[in-house]
Amino acid sequence: MKRRDLLYTGKAKSVFRTDDDQKLLIEFRDDTSAFDGRKTEALSRKGTVNNHFNAFIMQHLEAAGIPTHFESLVDDTQSLVKFLDMIPVECVVRNITTGSICRRLGVQEGIELEAPTFEFFLKNDELHDPMINRYHIESFGWAHASEVERMTELTFATNSALVPLFRDAGIILVDFKLEFGRFGDQIVLGDEFTPDGCRLWDSETREKLDKDRFRQDLGDVVESYEIAASRLGISIP
């Protein structure tokens, strides 16, 4: 498999074509961004940590019956994935309140929800990823009703697969964001699952082990990602 031309440079990852037109190489960079790209910094080792973290979680999800784009680790910062036709929607599940839901609904931080809740956001930095509902997605043709249902089902299934995995590692999975795409007639989980796109709290102390450390200038960002990784048994060179 050969790396070909750069297809897309995102805020944290670069995406390259390969000699197989069904596969892409995703490079996890050290670049870190928050607040729709208004705060950025390169954090040493983050690309390596996130690449290995993502590979571990995607393989766990595949084993739980969730179709993912992940194919293989190529080196410390790159993974081979299926080339998906991405759906421009973010699927968020929350187990505990924090972040935007508190600002939006005026609810306290840290409430354990009676059942996990679900939200869609439009992937659009200029509009600050506005919250949307399934009717917006269907009316504007971003995805069909059956695809919306499948994304919802797979996002909840991801929560069910990951909550106990993190719990056994002494970590609370507070919330997370997923992106899906089409591969033939299948809806497949794409993008990444790393501490950049979820919230992880230490079960005892509620210390944050995720990108909120960067958003809130708490320091030791990558060190915290590595603590979470090592508790999950992920070995990172």
Binding site for ligand UDP (CB under 6 A): 90, 92, 99-101, 129, 175-177, 197-199, 211
The piece of 12-20, 47-55, 109-117, 214-222 that touches ligand ADP (CB under 6 A) is: 12-20
- Considering the complex, state which of residue 23 and residue 34 has its C-beta at the smaller distance from ligand UDP: 34
Question: Could you tell me which of 6, 227, 188 has the C-alpha nearest to residue 83?
Answer: 188
Containing 215, the helix (H) or strand (E) segment is helix 212-215
Distance CA 5, CA 65 (A): 32
Residue 46 found at the interface with ligand ADP (CB under 6 A): no
For residue 113, the minimal CB distance to ligand ADP (Å) is 26
Question: Which part of the chain contacts ligand ADP (CB under 6 A), choosing from 10-18, 127-135, 165-173, 204-212?
Answer: 10-18
Of the two residues 71 and 90, which places its CB atom closer to ligand UDP in the complex?
90
Residue in the block written with tokens 């790396």:
3
CB of 190 to ligand ADP, least distance (A): 4
* 35 phi and psi angles, rounded to 5 deg: 55, 55
Q: Please tell me the distance from the alpha carbon of residue 228 to that of residue 194, in angstroms, as a whole number.
A: 10
Task: Give the residue from 33, 151, 136 showing the smallest Cα distance to 87.
Answer: 151
Point out which residues bind ligand ADP (CB under 6 A): 8, 10-13, 15, 24, 69, 81-84, 86, 179, 181, 190-191
